[in-house]
Amino acid sequence: MSILIPILGDQLSLGLSSLSGQHRNDSVILMVEADEETTYVPHHKAKLAYILSAMRHHSDALRKAGWRVDYVKLHDPENSGSFTGELARAIERHHPGLIRVTEAGEWRVKAMLDSWSDRFDVPVEIVPDTRFLASHAEFETWAEGRKQLRMEFFYRDMRRKSGLLMDGDKPVGGQWNFDSENRKPAKNDLLIPKPLHFAPDDITREVIDMVEARFGDHLGRTAVFGFAVTREDALKQQAYFLDHALPLFGDYQDAMLTGEPFLWHSILSPYINSGLLDPLELCREVEARYDVGKVPLNAAEGFIRQIIGWREYVRGIYWFAGPDYVDRNELGATRDLPSFYWTGKTDMHCMREAIGQTLEYAYAHHIQRLMITGNFALIAGIDPKQVHEWYLAVYADAYEWVELPNTLGMSQFGDGGMLASKPYASSGAYINRMSNYCSSCRFDVKQRTGPDACPFNALYWDFIARNEGKLRGNPRMAMPYKNWERMSDSDKSALRTSAGQFLERLG
């Protein structure tokens, strides 16, 4: 009996669960460049080029490993534009006795895979994605019955489960979390490691030309395209990160500097999320560097926490919260996303930097996403669904399962605190402390009202006042509300007027 194995664009792992235990001589792998996937949001051109080129390279790697691959390109005149349409055509070509597929990464595609067994006259076997530490059932068991879901406690379970940085049943170093050591501002320094640049080969160049021709109106640039598109090259960036950036990853994890988009971050998320890199294998490498004294514990623990803590936790929340999570808007924010998110044209230097590098590289690091673009949208009261669609479109690592909980939950507090214990809202003071952006901004971070005042200041207090009914009861918001109460009525009114004027101009 021949088996048809569809592989999706974020399933580019040779050890994928749908392949394991299957025989190369009676299996056909189906890979499809699907119009519906390339257009469900207006993806950044570099994201499209990355995914499509990585898919094409992966089909070669599969063939080299002895698999038969049926690959449908975007410009194939017969291409129906959808996974389901292409599966129908592939069934005609191969007459399989079974369709076997690894579960989808998001609700939209899950619904599609679930419909296949009714639609086709061929049995469909959907197998779990084993590239995560926690299964859906395991997360549900952990989450059910808890009054509050908090990453820190889930993370400790993942440490115990993986054995990473464990000394018997105790955390190495006597502490689970060294985050308090990871908040240093950085200085411009010639030694900041630049991520490796992988010059496009013939396949990537062809894909880039196709993307420019077909998606020319999407945002972003492909001229500086330098992503790895094979596992081999992704492993080179992994090794480079481990050698050059990991030792200071912890110290400068939250830092931001003008003209330095990458700092000591790994730039590995596109490769991990599409399957070229194995997250657990990477964590074991990080642990090994700590074991031989090459990296300090705050860096090793900080990095491992991002992967087996945050990454696993947001996936758990995504599936646990259900398909309606995307519609949540606990703070009732309704303002339209300002057009400068798509162009980078704004006087706010921090926003210009974060958005500008996003347009250039389809990359911004976590604190830029959370405390610059995310924070602004939160305190300005932007509709979280529009914010979500922007993040899903612009980053090379963005797939709904990981982007949505980060955006709607962590950054916009749209789930009312299901994922995070308090809103990540701040005035300009935080940005000034963690970056050098303010020194070259046309606004003055120290001023709270008036034409030259940093807009984050009045917007922050306006956010606090506007959402008092929803947030005052949150113990972690006690301090801001105490400070707000201490202000004179005229100061309060000046801040709210200033915010109102700014928001009016924004509209």
The binding site for ligand FAD (CB under 6 A) comprises: 265-269, 272-273, 303, 306-307, 310-311, 314, 365-366, 369-370, 374, 391, 395, 397-398, 402-403, 406-407, 410-411
Pick 10 or 389: Cβ nearer ligand DLZ: 10
Residue 406: contacted member of ligand SF4, ligand FAD, ligand DLZ, none (CB under 5 to 8 Å, by partner type): ligand FAD
Handedness of CA 273, 275, 357, 441 (dihedral sign): positive
Least Å distance, CB 397 to ligand FAD, is 4
Pick 45 or 448: Cβ nearer ligand SF4: 448
Using the contact rule CB under 6 A, the part of the chain among 80-88, 137-145, 429-437, 497-505 near ligand SF4 is 429-437
Using the contact rule CB under 6 A, the part of the chain among 9-17, 25-33, 234-242, 426-434 near ligand SF4 is 426-434
Among 32, 314, 362, 420, binds ligand DLZ (CB under 6 A): 32
> Per this entry, what is the length of the chain?
507
Handedness of CA 207, 208, 212, 215 (dihedral sign): positive
Which residues does residue 124 pair with via DSSP β-bridges, in sequence order? 99
Pick 34 or 317: Cβ nearer ligand DLZ: 34
If one asks whether residue 242 binds ligand DLZ (CB under 6 A), the answer comes out as no
Burial 58-84 (b: 16+ CB within 10 A, else e): bbebbeeeebebbbbebeeeebbbebb
Least Å distance, CB 487 to ligand SF4, is 20
Residue 490 is given by DSSP the state H
- Residues that bind ligand DLZ (rule: CB under 6 A) add up to a total of 16
Among 4, 27, 37, 222, binds ligand DLZ (CB under 6 A): 37
CA atoms within a 13 Å half-sphere pointing along the CA-CB vector of 248: 15
**Strands across the sheet containing 98-102:** 68-72, 27-32, 3-6, 98-102, 124-127
If one asks whether residue 57 binds ligand DLZ (CB under 6 A), the answer comes out as no
Among 215, 310, 437, 460, binds ligand SF4 (CB under 6 A): 437
Residues 1-20 that bind ligand DLZ (CB under 6 A): 8-10
Among 19, 42, 43, 448, binds ligand DLZ (CB under 6 A): 43
If one asks whether residue 348 binds ligand SF4 (CB under 6 A), the answer comes out as yes
Least Å distance, CB 157 to ligand FAD, is 17
- The 3-class SS string of 55-99 reads HHHHHHHHHHCCCEEEEECCCCCCCCCCHHHHHHHHHHHHCCCEE
Residue 266: contacted member of ligand FAD, ligand SF4, ligand DLZ, none (CB under 5 to 8 Å, by partner type): ligand FAD
Using the contact rule CB under 6 A, the part of the chain among 6-14, 156-164, 430-438, 482-490 near ligand SF4 is 430-438
Cα 477 to Cα 373, 428, 496, distances in angstroms: 21, 18, 19
Pick 37 or 233: Cβ nearer ligand DLZ: 37
Report the Cα 416 to chain-centroid distance in Å. Answer: 20
Q: How far is it, in rounded angstroms, from Cα 234 to Cα 254?
A: 24
If one asks whether residue 428 binds ligand SF4 (CB under 6 A), the answer comes out as yes
Residue 443: contacted member of ligand FAD, ligand SF4, ligand DLZ, none (CB under 5 to 8 Å, by partner type): ligand SF4
Using the contact rule CB under 6 A, the part of the chain among 161-169, 404-412, 432-440, 494-502 near ligand SF4 is 432-440
Which residues does residue 52 pair with via DSSP β-bridges, in sequence order? none
End-to-end CA distance of the chain: 61
Which amino acid belongs to residue 156? Answer: R
Report whether 428 contacts 454 (CB < 8 A).
yes
Least Å distance, CB 398 to ligand DLZ, is 8
If one asks whether residue 463 binds ligand SF4 (CB under 6 A), the answer comes out as no
Report whether 341 contacts 355 (CB < 8 A).
yes
DSSP assignment string, 379-411: HHTB-HHHHHHHHHHH-TT--HHHHHIIIIIII
Using the contact rule CB under 6 A, the part of the chain among 100-108, 281-289, 318-326, 403-411 near ligand DLZ is 100-108
Which residues does residue 98 pair with via DSSP β-bridges, in sequence order? 3
- The angle at the Cα of 305, spanning 300 to 310, to the nearest 5 degrees, equals 155
Chain residues binding ligand SF4 by CB under 6 A are 348-350, 428, 431-432, 437-438, 441, 443, 445, 454-456
List contacts with ligand DLZ (CB under 6 A).
8-10, 32-34, 37-38, 43, 48, 51, 104-106, 109, 399
